[in-house]
Chains A and B, each alone.
Chain A
Amino acid sequence: MDEKLLEVKDINIHYVTEDETVYAVNGIGFTLDEGETIGLVGETGAGKTTTALSIMGLIPDPPGKIISGSIMFKGQDIFKMSEKQLRSIRGDQISMVFQDPMTALNPVLTVGKQIEEVILLHNDIPKAEAKKRTIEMLEMVGIPGKRCDDYPHQFSGGMKQRVVIAIALACNPKLLIADEPTTALDVTIQAQVLELMKKLRKEYGTAMIMITHDLGVVAKICDRVAIVYAGEIVEIGSNKDIFVDRKHPYTMGLFNSLPDIENDSKELHMIKGLMPDPVDLPNGCKFNPRCPYKTEICENEKTPFYEVAPGHQVRCNKFALREVQNA
Chain B
Amino acid sequence: MKRILWIIPVLLGVTVVVFTILYFAPGDPAMLALGEAATPEAIEDYREELGINGTYMERLSRYISNLFKGDLGLSYRSRTPVATELASRFSVTFKLAMCSIVLGIILGVFFGIISALKRGTIWDSLATGIALFGVSMPMFWQGLMLILFFSVHLRWLPASGFGSTWKQMVMPVLALGIGSSATIMRTTRSCMLEVLRQDYITTAKAKGQRYRVIVLRHALRNAMIPIITVIGIQTSELLAGSIITEVIFSIAGVGKYLVDSISGRDYAAVLGCTLLIAFVAAIFNLITDIIYTFIDPRLKTMYGTNKKRKIKNYGVAK
- Residues of chain A whose beta carbon lies under 8 Å from any beta carbon of chain B: 56, 58, 86-92, 95-96, 98, 100, 103-110, 117-118, 121-122, 144, 146, 151, 153-154, 164, 167
Contact = CB atoms under 8 A, between A and B. Distances in A.
Given A58-B202, A103-B199, 12 more contacts: A88-B208, A90-B207, A91-B208, A104-B203, A106-B218, A108-B221, A108-B296, A109-B217, A118-B208, A121-B209, A144-B316, A146-B312
Interface residues of B, number: 26
B298 A151 contact: yes
B210 A95 contact: no
A98 B199 contact: yes
Contacts of B296: 108
* Most B Cβ at <10 Å: residue of A98, A106, A122: A106
B218 A91 contact: no
A121 B207 contact: yes
Interface string B206-219: 11111000000110
B222 A107 contact: yes
Nearest to B297: A151
B301 interface: yes
B149 interface: no
A87 B210 contact: yes
Nearest to B315: A146
Interface of B: 198-200, 202-210, 217-218, 221-222, 225, 295-298, 300-301, 312, 315-316
A103 B208 contact: no
Contact of A164 (B203, B208, B298): B203
Contacts of A56: 206
A32 B142 CA distance: 65
B200 A103 contact: yes
B121 to A, nearest CB: 12
B1 to A, nearest CB: 22
Contact of A91 (B198, B207, B312): B207
B208 A108 contact: no
A87 B206 CA distance: 8
A64 to B, nearest CB: 13
